[in-house]
Amino acid sequence: MIKVVIAGTSGRMGQALLEGIFADSELQLHGALDRADSPRIGRDAGEQFGLATNVIISADVDKTLCGADVLVDFTRPEASMGYLTACEKAGVKLVLGTTGFSLEQKKQIEAAAERIGIVFAPNMSVGVTLLINLVQAAARVLADGYDVEIIEAHHRHKVDAPSGTALRLGEAAAEALSRDLQSCAVYGREGVTGERDANTIGFATVRGGDVVGDHTVLFAGIGERVELTHKASSRATFALGALRAAKYLADRKTGLFDMRDVLGLR
């Protein structure tokens, strides 16, 4: 039985993760974390599901991690870096689905993976993981004469843009095309922009309503377009992928992995 701690249990992803654990006989909810000012602090983590788990939601990270195998975190970068440090200290593995990290923070995550096992991916969906591989394959075939544009849409509450998934798709395309995404990405267009530079990769962002997550990678050539699209209708897909990643880490003490490792797509 894998002992799992969930961070951000009052959030939308936290709730989906709890539901996923309660339905999985291989996983045991060991602890539940939330911010100190959450009204759910001190309540049973299973309360909203009609369950009495005896796992009390807490803001005490070190105490909650004691005896755990893995922490699953989909919160915010600043909170996640604190969880990362606590996991290193406790020797607890980490499944990290948070997005919006800076380059320096990503380097800290890579360094931590020398001491604990980490699955780090901006999107834990099986479908999106497959999409990353499809984008790379398409980019290699459509390397000449096709413009690459990435369009993503999320709910009105998402705080970072473009989404981490969109950026990962851009990285996949750039890698296949032997480009550096940092230097070729275009994140916004307004006014008289001039003709499109054929070597750029464009990003367009939509925010509104309750959209869980839509991503399209467009390869636009002369006379035809190839579009690769993934649409998520439920956060359960991300939760199930993350819990699958937690199982993957069971026999891996150290190392930095992503969902392609988890699914055997490398």
Annotated catalytic sites, by residue? Answer: 154, 158
CB 21 within 8 A of CB 29: yes
State how far the Cα of 73 lies from the Cα of 80, in Å rounded to an integer.
Answer: 7
Strands 147-154 and 213-220: antiparallel
DSSP alpha helices (H): ranges in 53-122? 61-65, 77-90, 103-112
If DSSP codes are grouped into helix, strand and coil, which group holds residue 4? strand
Beta bridge partners of 227: 218
Dihedral pair phi/psi, residue 226, rounded to 5°: -115, 125
Q: Which amino acid is at 99?
A: T
Please check whether residue 169 is in contact with residue 217, taking contact to mean a CB–CB distance below 8 angstroms.
Answer: yes
Is residue 134 within 8 Å of 260, Cβ to Cβ?
no
Distance CA 108, CA 111 (A): 5
CA distance 83 to 98: 11
CB within 8 Å of 261: residues ≥ 6 apart: 119, 248
